[in-house]
Amino acid sequence: MDPNKELEFINLLDENQNLIHKVCRLYTNDEASHKDLFQEISIQLWNAYPKFRGDSKFTTWAYRIALNTAISLFRKKKRTISTIEFDSTVHRFEYKDYDYEEEEKLKQLYKGISNLNDIEKALIFMYLEDKDYQEISEVLGISQINARVRMNRVKNKLKQLLNP
Amino acid sequence: MDELDILKKHWKENQKFPKLTQEEIRSMIHKKSSSIVMWIFIISIIEFIILNVIGYIIPNDKGVKTNIPLVESFLDKFEYLSILTSIIFVFLFYKNYRKIKVYSSSKELMTQIIKTKKTVNYYIYINIAFILISLCFVFFSICYYEPTLLSENSKNIFVLIGVFIIITLFFIAIVWLFYKLIYGILLKKLTKNLKELEKINEDPI
């Protein structure tokens, strides 16, 4: 590839590293898997970059590729690992700023997220990232109405976990 | 405050991630070797399992039992040696896989790729050597048990040696092709990645 294009891509990836890290945080449960997924997403973005025309924002495009990569690896992994145990320590979450009740709620919510299916996780991720329904529909390749309906279902699912 | 709002607040507050340098990103996007080495490891396990399962499924042909303690003992030991060698190589492939770290430098990765390539080649050579030893053993057993073949006609010895060489070459070719096909494709990919990494090192950001 053209060295300028490569430099351009590296700069973009450098600016948006956290985006990939956040996807990895949601789809993995240990540091080694996090690093593996980070690399896999970076390689997929790099391979797909020649096709990036700039019609959408780089971040929207990167969200799509990152989530697709995470989802496809998550599906492969699911065939071999039936359940994923949630371990808050490996997620490096800091609970110290929260009171006990909030901390418990958070633990339950993260546990709930770790048990969501791949698409539901992607939806929650977009919600946490404050994305509007237009961007969600672009990233996930579903209609805005569908995104809205699915999002409400996932939110309710998580709320029910806390208030059974 | 709604539970999901708490979650969102927490999510936004916990965004401290390790930062990669541009050089690290550059070498990382050119690294594909981790998954290739993982496949070498997986294939070696599959091969080991299949070959050993075949060994158990196919019953020992009593007809080839020699009843000579020395020969029987050699065959037994040779079988154990073969299994032990396979186990050692499966372990070495696993070690190679574990050593390839995502964030390791290009130079470390290159060293590891060269090491993996060497391990695969040694594995192929050792397997071919085992085939060669087995065939030599069969050849000498025939000479030992059928001495008449050699004494009746001196031409027989040349025919026998000729047949032995053809069979040996045939088996070696098959084994060589088998390994070249399975591991060769992966080795080719590793070599390609190695060249890309060499280029990166020559032309840093």
Residues A87-146 have pLDDT tens digits of 444 444 444 554 677 778 788 888 888 888 888 889 999 999 899 999 999 888 889 999
Backbone Cα Rg of chain B = 26
- Structural domain count, chain B: 1
Per residue in B180-202, pLDDT (tens digit) is: 888 788 778 777 777 766 665 56
Q: Is residue B5, in this structure, part of any structural domain at all?
A: no
Q: What are phi and psi of B52, to 5 degrees?
A: -75, -35
pLDDT band at B121 (very low <50, low <70, confident <90, very high): confident
Q: Is residue B61, in this structure, part of any structural domain at all?
A: no
**A22 interfacial to chain B (CB closer than 8 Å):** yes
Can you tell me the ipTM of this complex?
A: 0.76
pLDDT band at B56 (very low <50, low <70, confident <90, very high): low
Cβ pair A123, A154 in contact under 8 A: yes
| Half-sphere exposure in the Cβ direction for A27 (13 Å, CA) | 34
Q: Is residue B20, in this structure, part of any structural domain at all?
A: no
Q: Is residue B18, in this structure, part of any structural domain at all?
A: no
Range of the domain at B82: 31-56+68-94+108-195
pLDDT for A78? 56
* Shortest CA gap B67–chain A (Å): 47
Helix (H) or strand (E) holding B48: helix B33-57
> What residues of chain B lie within 8 A of the CB of A46, using their CB?
29
Q: Is residue B82, in this structure, part of any structural domain at all?
A: yes
At B152, list the tokens: 């009746």
pTM reported for the whole predicted model = 0.56
Per residue in A47-91, pLDDT (tens digit) is: 888 888 877 889 999 999 999 888 887 776 654 433 334 444 444
Cβ pair B182, B36 in contact under 8 A: no
Interchain CB distance below 8 Å, A158 and B4: yes
* Domains of chain A listed by start with CATH number: 1-84 (1.10.1740.10)
Alpha carbon distance B96, B87 (integer Å): 14
Residue A158 pLDDT > 80, yes or no? Answer: yes
Of A14, A43, A109, the CB nearest to B3: A109
| Range ranked top by mean pLDDT from A31-35, A120-124, B74-78 | A120-124
pLDDT for B71? 63
Q: Is residue B131, in this structure, part of any structural domain at all?
A: yes
Q: Is residue B188, in this structure, part of any structural domain at all?
A: yes
